[in-house]
Amino acid sequence: MNTESNAMPEPSGVATMVPAAIPTSRLLYWSVRRELWENRSIYLAPLAVAAVLLFGHLIATIGRAMAIADLAERQALLEEPSNFAALVIMGVAFLVAVFYCLDALYGERRDRSILFWKSLPVSDAMTVAAKLIIPVVVIPLLTFAITVVAQFLMLLLSSLALLGSGLDASILWQRAAFFEASVGLFYHLVAIHGFWYAPIFGWLLLASAWAQRMPFLWAVLPPVVIAAVEKIVFGSTHFGRLLLNHMSGGPEGAKFPLDANAVHALEHLSPGSFLLSPGLWIGFALAAAFLYAAVRLRREREPI
Amino acid sequence: MACIEARGLRKHYGATVALDGVDLKVEEGRILGLIGPNGAGKTTALKAMLGLTAYDGQLRVLGRDPWIERHRLMHEVCFIADVAVLPRWMRVWQALDYVAGVHPRFDRAKAEGFLARTTIKHGSRIRELSKGMVTQLHLALVMAIDAKLLVLDEPTLGLDILFRKQFYDSLLNDYFDHSRTILVTTHQVEEIEHVLTDLMFIDRGRIVLGCSMEDFESRYTEVTVLPQQLAAARAFRPIYEREVLGRTILLFDGVDRGQLATLGDARTPGIADLFVAVMNLQPGRTQGAAP
C-alpha cells in the first residue's frame, strides 16, 4: 500500500533494522525465571522447613543440653552428629518438585494462560526444557545451598553453646566434617535428584501435559496398572520392584549416607561406576522419550 | 506476499466440522473483520493461523506454516486470544520484564508510555485488576511489539462501552500505520464498522462473503420505502426485506443507487443488516423473516 515516503513514523534507518534474534540462553533464563515467579514454593517451602529445623535445634538440642548440669553429658549431647536436617529439607524439596511437575503443563491450560505464553516467540521445546530444569537443576542446587547454610548455623549454635560452657568445640567440627558432608550432599543431589530421578520428573511432566483433569492420577495409575497386570498375567513383580528400586535412591555408591558418618561415606562415593550404570542411561533414554512426548502434547493440547 | 493465504483449510473436532474448506487471502496493510454466528468457525480459523491448532489444507501466514513454526511466526505476529489469558498470578512489572526478555521486537518504553495513561500500577497482580484494566495491559504489551500481523479474537468481550470505544481508538491512533495487518473477530459489529478496510462473513466453516469496504459501499444499498412503493422496489429483486414501523427496508445487491433513490431513502446498509441478510440467504438457515 504505502510506497510513498512518510509512511513509517520512525526514521528510515531504524525502521529497516531487523532486531537480532534472542539467544537461546536468554530465552531459557527468562523461561526459568518466570517459573520461579509463578511457583514461589520452590524456594519458600525448603526455606520455611530450614527455619523450623533451626528453631527446633535451638530448642530441642541446645536448650535441652544447656539444662543438663553435668558438663560431660552436655558435651555428648551437643556433639551428637545429625543428618536429620538435610534429610528433611531434601524430602520437602523432592515433594515440591513432584507437585511442581504435575502442575507445570496442566495449570497453564486450566487457567488458559497458555494462550498468552504461546503468543510469544518461545518454542514448546524451550518451555518444556525450562520446566525440566526446575526439578533437576534449580531445586537440587537450592536444596544444597539451604541445607548447607542451615547445617552451618546449627553447628555454629552448638559451638557457641559448647564455648559458653567453657568446653572445646573442635571435636564437634571434626565429627560433623562439615566440608566432606557438604561435598557428599552435593554429589547426592546432583547424581540422584538431578540425574537418577530425571525419568521420574520427565514422566510427571508428561502426565501434566496429557491430563485433561487430575494429572496426579494420570501419573500414578499407569505404573500401578502395569504392575497389577504383570502380577495377574505372569504372577511376577519385576516392574513394581524395578520402579521401587529406582525410586529408593539409586545404585550403591550414590545413596545418601543415613548414618551421618560423612568422612566414611565420601570414601564410598563412586561417580565412575554410577555414570556407567545401565540404569542411569536407560533412565535418560526414558526421560528423553517422555519429554519429547510432552513437547508434542504441549503443541497439540488446547486450553481445558 | 500476502499476509495470510489459506486454501482448502479444513478442521474437524470428531464429527463436528469447524472449517469446511476455507479459502482466503489477506493482503498487507488491511484491517479485516471476520464475522460470523457462534460456532461458525471464526475462532478455529484464527487458531489455525496462530499455530494453536492443527489443520488440513494449505495455510501460510507471513510465508510460514503456523503449525510447524509457531515460535518463529510469533516474532512478527501478535494476538489477543480473549480477555482472560494473562496469567493471574503475574505482576504487571513481571509481564513487562518477561515480554522484554523474550521478544526481540518489544519496545518497553512504548509499553510503559501506554500504561502511564492508565491507572494500572506496576506492582499490581493481574488478578487484582479489573477486566478492563487487564485488557488495557494486554493491549499495551501487544501494541509495543513491532509486529506485522495482529490478531484479535473478541478482544472487547465483557468490557463496558467506555473501554470498548477506547480500545479501538488507541488501536487506530497508536498502532495501525498501513503497513501492519489487523484481523479481528467480534460480535459487536457496529463498533468495528468504521475501522475495517475489509469484511468477511463466515458461516458453518465456509466463507460466504468477502469484500473490501469500498466494494461493500458501492455494491449494497438499503432503501426504506412506504407501502405504496413496495411493489416497484421489489421489482429490483432485493436480497432481504424487513419491516420497521410500517415501512419496509429492502436490501439490494448490485443495483444502481440512483435508481433506488427515487423509491425512498437510499443509503449504505450497516454491516449487521447485511450480515443478517447474507446469513438468511444461506441454504438450510431459517432464522429471520425471509420474504
Q: Cβ–Cβ contacts within 10 Å for residue A170, how many?
A: 10
- What is the Cα–Cα distance from A219 to A207, expressed in whole angstroms? 5
Q: What is the mean pLDDT of chain B?
A: 89
Contact criterion met (CB < 8 Å) for A119 and B89: no
Range B105-112, long-range pairs (CB < 8 A, 24+ positions): B105/A19, B105/B75, B105/B76, B105/B145, B105/B146, B105/B147, B106/B141, B106/B144, B106/B145, B107/B144, B107/B145, B107/B146, B108/B144, B110/B143, B110/B144, B111/B140, B111/B141, B111/B143, B111/B144
Nearest residue in A to B101, CA atom: A30
Task: Report pLDDT for B112.
Answer: 95
User: What is the structure's pLDDT at A265?
Assistant: 61
B199-233 pLDDT, tens digit each: 999 998 999 999 999 999 889 999 998 888 888 88
Chain B residues close to A124, C-beta within 8 Å: 70-71
User: What integer pLDDT is reported at residue B45 of this predicted model?
Assistant: 93
Q: Going residue by residue through chain A, which has 304 residues, state the pLDDT in tens, using 9 for 90 and above.
A: 444 444 434 444 444 455 667 899 999 999 999 999 999 999 999 999 999 999 999 988 888 888 888 888 888 888 876 778 888 999 999 999 999 999 999 999 999 999 999 999 999 999 999 999 999 999 999 999 999 999 999 999 989 988 888 888 888 888 778 888 888 889 889 988 999 999 999 999 999 999 999 999 999 999 999 999 999 999 988 898 888 888 876 665 556 655 555 556 666 677 888 888 888 999 999 999 999 999 999 999 988 8
Instruction: Flag if A22 and B104 touch (Cβ within 8 Å).
Output: yes
Give the pairing of strands B181-185 and B220-225. unpaired
Q: Do you know the residue count of chain B? A: 291
Instruction: Say whether B71 and A121 touch across the interface (CB within 8 A).
Output: yes
Mean pLDDT of B96-101: 96
Give the integer Cα–Cα distance in Å for A234 and B221.
79
pLDDT digits (tens, 9 = 90+) for B12-21: 988 889 999 9
Contact A35, A107 (CB under 8 A): no
Q: Can you give the pLDDT at residue A13?
A: 40
Lowest mean pLDDT among A21-25, B55-59, B78-82, B99-103: B78-82
The contact set of A with B (CB < 8 A) is: 1-2, 7-9, 19-22, 26-27, 29-31, 33-34, 37-38, 108, 111-116, 118-124, 126, 299-300, 302
Show the cell assigned to B159. 468490557
As a whole number, mean pLDDT of residues B103-107 equals: 94
What per-residue confidence (pLDDT) applies to B288? 44
Looking at residue B259, its pLDDT comes to 86
Chain B CB contacts of A299 below 8 Å: 67, 70
What is the arithmetic mean of pLDDT over B99-115? 94
**For residue B105, which of B84, B70, B126, B74 has the smallest C-alpha distance?**
B74
CB pairs under 8 A between A and B: 100
So what's the ipTM on this one?
A: 0.89
- Which residues, 6 or more positions from A59, have their beta carbon under 8 angstroms from its beta carbon? none
Distance from C-alpha of B217 to C-alpha of A58, rounded to nearest angstrom? 83
Q: How far is B253 from chain A (nearest CA, A)?
A: 28
pLDDT for A20 equals: 67
Residue-wise pLDDT for B65-95, tens only, equals 999 999 999 999 999 877 668 999 999 999 9
Query: How far is the C-alpha of A48 from the C-alpha of A95, rounded, in Å?
Result: 14
Q: Do A37 and B105 touch (CB under 8 A)?
A: no
Report the distance separating Cα A170 and Cα A218, nearest Å.
Answer: 52
pLDDT at A251: 65
- 10 Å CB burial of residue B102 (0-12, 13-18, 19+) is buried
Q: Could you tell me the pLDDT band of residue B57, with boundaries at 50, 70 and 90? A: very high
Say whether pLDDT at B64 is over 90.
Answer: yes
Question: CA-CA distances (angstroms) from residue B103 to A32, A117, B208?
Answer: 15, 11, 37
pLDDT category of residue B194 using cuts at 50, 70 and 90: confident
Q: What is the pLDDT of residue B131?
A: 86
Which of B26, B102, B142, B152 to mutate against chain A (most A CBs within 10 Å)?
B102
Nearest CA in chain B to A298: B52
- Give the best residue of B50, B65, B85, B92 to mutate against chain A (max A CB count within 10 A): B85
% chain B with pLDDT above 90: 54
Q: Rounded distance, CA B175 to CA B147, Å? A: 10
Per-residue pLDDT of B195-207, as tens digits, reads: 899 999 999 899 9
What is the mean predicted confidence (pLDDT) over B102-124? 94
Residues 6+ apart with CB under 8 A from A44: none
- CA of A36, closest CA in chain B: separation in Å? 11
